[in-house]
Amino acid sequence: MKGSERQVLNAIKELDIADKKSIAFKLVISVEHVTKICSILSKDGYIEEKPNKKYKLTLKGKKLIAPIKAKKPLFKL
């Protein structure tokens, strides 16, 4: 996954549900570039496009950008 794709996922996470213009404004990139990235992310199952042309993270997308949690300490002090 490219860095720009991860940035779009994080922007959607922060905005909860976002349209292309909001994502572009937040990341300071063109709406056209956001359109291309969202197409890829949607095809790969990381986001879904709602009927109102807004995007929301899927469970797969949420898992990808979720912080990693350790189940137990990595080492003892």
Q: Which of 57, 61, 51, 55 is nearest to 18 (CA)?
A: 55
> In CATH, what number does 3-65 get?
1.10.10.10
Q: Which amino acid is at 6?
A: R
Question: Contact 58/17 with Cβ under 8 angstroms?
Answer: no
Please check the confidence at residue 26 and state whether its pLDDT lies above 70.
yes
pTM of the model: 0.83
Q: Where are the domains of the chain?
A: 3-65
Per-residue pLDDT of 8-24, as tens digits, reads: 999 999 999 999 999 99
